[in-house]
């Protein structure tokens, strides 16, 4: 992150934050991860992002979620108070080898992305029959 | 937000400034951590127009029929409930999303007309547009030369 440092005539250094051109903010979406018998499930908050603006990629063992939010500014209004910034979302996860990578399912509702990662057959809990001897 | 930081004298320990800067940065991050834990849900932005105000709120995963909006005088109250992704008894690896009931009252810059409110909810973002009552619209005052 580059900061703007200027030297004043007295030789002191001041840091100014006003004229620092930053790119659109990238947020790491809050994510829940839990496991069922058959799947590992990832649920990530990406408010303002529709299905067309989500990108999920898997490269080797790295799963990357990306989302681009719609520009929020209502027409004819100017912002006077802000607690959140609308921008892009991005987060990467490393998957264990026990995931069946070809069968990953993704869906989105109300700005929440849900990924179901099926466990490879070898990783599923197996029932072992007990015979009465 | 960072306030301008002025570095002090050049005499003495050249690393004193670095240490002081690091101490300030740690305090900044500690404050940021504490305040994000106390942040209200949902986070809101407020937008001002000529005689109307829009409040937008990020509420991903809240079912639309579980959102309750109330407008009174110069406040907007947003109530709702967000279901958890799984039970407490499930095998959790990571749990970062808050769940449960929430209520938040937002102070508006002026009184609004409850009959003139429009609310939209798309992709987890709520936008509530509220108009000022007719009688509250700012009036232009003519100045006569005297």
Per residue, what are the HEC states of chain B? CCCCCCCCCCCCCCCHHHHHHHHHHHHHHHHHHHHHHCCCCCCEEEEECCCEEEEEEECCCCCHHHCEEEEECCEEEEEEEECCCCCCCCEEEEECCCCEEEEEEEECCCCCCCCCEEEEEECCEEEEEEECCHHHCCCCCCCCCC
Burial class (CB in 10 A: 0-12, 13-18, 19+), B27: exposed
Question: Is pLDDT larger for residue B32 or for residue A60?
Answer: A60
Question: Are B123 and A50 an interchain contact pair (Cβ–Cβ within 8 Å)?
Answer: yes
| Residues A58, A59, A62, A66, Cα dihedral to 10° | -50
pLDDT of residue A93: 93
Instruction: Quote helix, strand, coil % in chain A, to nearest 5.
Output: 5, 45, 45
pLDDT for A112 beyond 60: yes
Q: Which of B123, B126, B127 to mutate to test the interface with A (most CBs of A within 10 A)?
A: B123
Per-residue pLDDT tens for B77-90? Answer: 999 999 999 887 78
Using the predicted structure, report yes or no on whether residue A52 has a pLDDT greater than 80. yes
**A39-45 and A31-35 beta bridge pairing:** antiparallel
pLDDT band at B46 (very low <50, low <70, confident <90, very high): very high
Is the CB of A37 inside 8 Å of chain B's CB atoms? no
CB atoms within 10 A of CB B7: 15
Which of A31-45, B13-27, B75-89, B120-134 is predicted with the least confidence, judged by mean pLDDT? B13-27
Q: What is the ipTM of this complex?
A: 0.72
* 3-class DSSP state of A36: coil
Overall average pLDDT of the B65-80 stretch: 95
The pLDDT tens digits for A66-98 are 999 887 778 889 999 999 988 899 999 998 878
Residue to substitute from A43, A85, A117, interface B, most B β-carbons within 10 A: A43
Q: What is the pTM of this model?
A: 0.72
Residue A15 scores a pLDDT above 80: no
CB contact, 8 Å: A43 with chain B? yes
CA distance linking residue B76 with residue B128, whole number of Å:
9
For the beta carbon of residue A59, count every other beta carbon within 10 angstroms: 8
Picking from B7, B61, B94, the nearest residue to A112 by CB comes out as B61
Measured distance CA(A44)–CA(B85) in Å, rounded: 10
Of B20 and B44, the structure prediction assigns the larger pLDDT to B44
Spatial distance between the Cα atoms of B137 and B52, rounded to a whole number of angstroms? 10
Q: CA–CA distance from B133 to each of B86, B115, B130 (Å)?
A: 45, 9, 9
pLDDT band at residue B45 using 50, 70 and 90 as cut-offs: very high
């Amino acid at each position: 992150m580059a900061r703007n440092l200027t030297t004043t005539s007295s030789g002191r250094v001041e840091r100014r934050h006003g004229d620092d051109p930053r790119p659109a903010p990238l947020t790491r979406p809050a994510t829940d991860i839990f496991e069922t018998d058959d799947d590992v499930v990832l649920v990530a908050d990406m408010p303002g992002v529709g299905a067309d603006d989500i990108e999920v990629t898997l490269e080797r063992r790295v799963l990357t979620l990306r989302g681009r939010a719609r520009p929020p500014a209502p027409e004819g209004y100017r912002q006077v108070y802000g607690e959140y910034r609308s921008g892009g979302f991005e987060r990467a996860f490393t998957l264990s080898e026990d995931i069946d990578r070809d069968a990953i399912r993704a869906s989105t509702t109300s700005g929440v992305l849900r990924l179901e990662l099926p466990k490879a057959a070898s990783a599923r809990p197996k029932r072992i029959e007990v015979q009465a001897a | 937000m960072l306030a301008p930081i002025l570095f002090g004298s050049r005499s003495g320990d050249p690393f004193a400034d670095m240490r002081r800067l690091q101490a300030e940065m740690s305090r900044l991050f500690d404050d940021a951590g504490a305040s994000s834990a106390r942040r209200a849900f949902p986070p809101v932005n407020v937008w001002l127009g000529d005689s109307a105000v829009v409040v937008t709120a990020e509420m991903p995963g809240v079912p639309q029929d579980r959102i309750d909006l109330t407008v009174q005088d110069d406040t907007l109250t947003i109530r709702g409930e967000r279901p958890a992704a799984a039970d407490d008894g499930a095998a959790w690896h990571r749990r970062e999303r808050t769940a449960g009931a929430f209520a938040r009252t937002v102070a508006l810059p002026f009184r609004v007309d409850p009959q003139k409110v429009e609310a939209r909810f798309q992709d987890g973002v709520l936008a509530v547009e509220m108009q000022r009552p007719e009688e509250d619209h700012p009036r232009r005052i003519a100045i006569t030369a005297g």
